[in-house]
Amino acid sequence: MAADGVTDQGEEINKLVERVVSAQKKYEEFSQQQVDCIIEAMAKEAERNAETLARMAVEETGFGRIQDKIIKNYLASRNIYEYIKEMKTVGVVNSYPDLGIEEIASPVGVVLAIIPSTNPTSTTIFKALISLKSRNGVVFSPHPTAANCIKYTAGLLHKAAVSAGAPEGIIACIDNSTIEATNALMKHPGVAVILATGGMGMVRAAYSSGKPAYGVGPGNVPAYIDRSADADKAVQRVLTGKTFDWGTVCSSEQAIVADAPVYEKVTDALKKYKAHLCSPEETGRLEKTVVTPQFGVNPDIVGRSPVVIADKAGFKVPEDTTALVVEYSGVGKDFPLSIEKLSPVLALYKVNGWREGCARCIEILSFGGLGHTLSLHCEDEKIIREFALRKPASRILLNTSSTHGAVGFTTNLPPSLTLGCGPLGDNITSDNITPLHLVTIKRLARGVREAESTLPVLQSGRDRPGDAGMHQASVETQEDFKKSSTKKNITEIVDGFLEGRISKGKKMEISVVSSPCAHSDEADKAVTETSEPQQGELPADFVCETDVIKAINSGSKIRITRKTIITPLARELADKYQILIVI
C-alpha cells in the first residue's frame, strides 16, 4: 500500500496505518457495551495522569500554565466522558416508529488526528475518546514542538484501551512528525477522515487532501460589553478567559469592545484585576514584538505570561500582571494587535451604542475570526437578540468567559476541543465536534404508501409529459386487472372516495382521453370532441379503474372535462379502449 507524497518515512507510515486499519476492522464488530467499557478505561487513565501530562506539555513547549493545562486535561477526559458515555454509537441509534425509519450508526474507519502545540495533551485525549467511542481507529500526527508529550499521551491511552479489550494497534502515533509525513498521512488510502487542529495552512491542507475533513479556523473573538452590563463582572469574566493557559485556547477573547457609558468602568475594572493598560510607546513596542513582518503571531510570545512578553518588548510590568491591554481606534493592518494573538494581550475599543459596537465586532471577526465565536455581556434582551441574529459567529456566548463557554465548560454546549466555524470560516461545520461527527448514519426506511397513489394526476393529453415509462405496464384484459391485488386495493380506496363525491342515483359517465404519451394521430383520434351534454348526462369529475371497466362492459362512454381527475391506471385502460369523451 503506497501513499502519495511519502518520502523516507513511507514504509513506516504504510505499516503504521495498516496496523490501525486491521485493528479497526476488528473493533467495528464490538458491541456498545464493549465500546463503553473501553472509553471509560481511557478516560479514567487520562484523568489519573492529568497533572503529569500537563507538566510534560509545558516543559516541552513552554506554552501556557501547568494548573490550567491540568484543567484542560480534566475537561478532555472527565467532562468529555460524562457527555459521551450514554451516547449511542453502535447499531440502531434512533428509531421513529411513526415514520417507519431507523437510524443505524457505522464507523468511518481510521481517523487522522492532527494535534497542535498549544493544547497538545488535552487535544490528544479528546480526539482519542471521540474516535474510539464511534468505533474508529486513530492515527496521531503531532506538532513537532510537542511530539514527545503527544506520543506519550497516545501510548498511555492505547495501553488503557487494550487493557479494557480493544484490539492491539487501535491507537497509533507517528514517530517523526514532519510536514511531509503529515501530508502523506492525509492522502493515505487507509485514512477515512481528518480531524485537523492547528494553523490555517495545516487546516487548508487537510481540506485539499481529497479526504473528508473537520478543520477549525482562527478565533479572533471580540467581547462586547454593553451599557446594560455589570462592567466589573464582565471584565472579570473576560480576564478569566484571556488569562487561562495564557491565551492559547482558540476561543479566548482577543478584544474588548466597550460601550461609551461604561468605558471608564471597564478601564477601572481592568486595573482592579491587574491588567496593564499600555502607553502609546509601549503599544508600539508590543506591536513589533507580538506580530511578525508577515503579519503572523510571533511564536516566541505564544502562551507566555504578560511579564515575559513585556520584557521581550522592552518594558516592565508587575509580576502579578494578568494581561497587556492596548487602546485602539481601528481594525486592520494599521492596528497589528487586532489579530488573534494566542497570548494574554487584549485590544480595547470604545464605541457609542450597541449598533456601533455591533459593527466593530463584525470588523474584528472579519479580520481573521469569521464563523468562530463572539462574547456578549449584556442584560438587554433586544440587543442580545440582535447580536445573536446578525453576528457572523457560530457561538454567541452570553455573560460568560468565551474561552470556557465555547468549549462547553461554563455553558451547555457540547464539550469539545475542536470548534467548527462553518462556511464563513471555510469549515464544513459550525458544530462543536463530538463522536457523532465520526459515524456514518444509515437509514432504514419502510414503505408506508404505494407509489401509484402518490403519482401526480394530469388533466389532459396535451398537459401530460412525454413517455418516460410511467405507464409501461398495461392491463390487457379485465381478468388481468382483477388478478392484480394492488389494483384491487386501489379500486376499493377509490370507490370509498367516490361514495362521498357522487350523489345517490346519479350515473357517473366517463370519457376517454387518448394517451398523451404517444403524441400520434391514433392518439388524437382517441379523444372525441362532442357538443354540450344532453339533459341528465353530466361529465364526471373523477374517474377510477372501476368506472372504466363498467363502461367497457356496458359498451358506453365516459364524459369528462379538462378538469376531470383521472387515476393513472384508469387513463391507461380508458386510452386502450377509447372510453373517454371530452366535452
Residues 6+ apart with CB under 8 A from 388: 396
- Give the separation between CA 291 and CA 297, rounded to whole angstroms: 5
Element containing residue 181 per DSSP (H, E):
helix 179-186
Distance, CA of 67 to CA of 55 (rounded, Å) = 9
CA of 58: how far to CAs of 120, 244, 335, 369, in Å? 10, 14, 31, 26
User: Whole-angstrom Cα distance, residue 300 to residue 375?
Assistant: 27
What proportions of the chain, in percent to the nearest 5, are helix, strand and coil?
A: 45, 20, 40
Distance of CA 467 to the CA centre of its chain: 42
The distance in angstroms from the start CA to the end CA of the chain is 73
Catalytic positions, written as ranges? 250
Query: Which three three-digit cell numbers place residue 310?
Result: 513585556
Contact 195, 114 (CB under 8 A): yes
Contact 481, 530 (CB under 8 A): no
Maximal C-alpha separation, the chain: 108
496, amino acid identity: G
CB 34 within 8 A of CB 135: no
| Strand positions, DSSP E, 261-370 | 275-277, 323-327, 345-351
The Cα 523–Cα 480 span in angstroms is: 23
Q: Which residues contact residue 150 at a Cβ distance below 8 angstroms, ignoring those fewer than 6 apart?
A: 115, 120, 121, 124, 140, 142, 143, 173
CB-side neighbour CA atoms (13 Å) of 25: 6
Check: CB of residue 291 under 8 Å from CB of residue 337: yes
To 5 degrees, how large is the angle CA 147–CA 149–CA 151?
65
Element housing 523 (H / E): helix 521-525
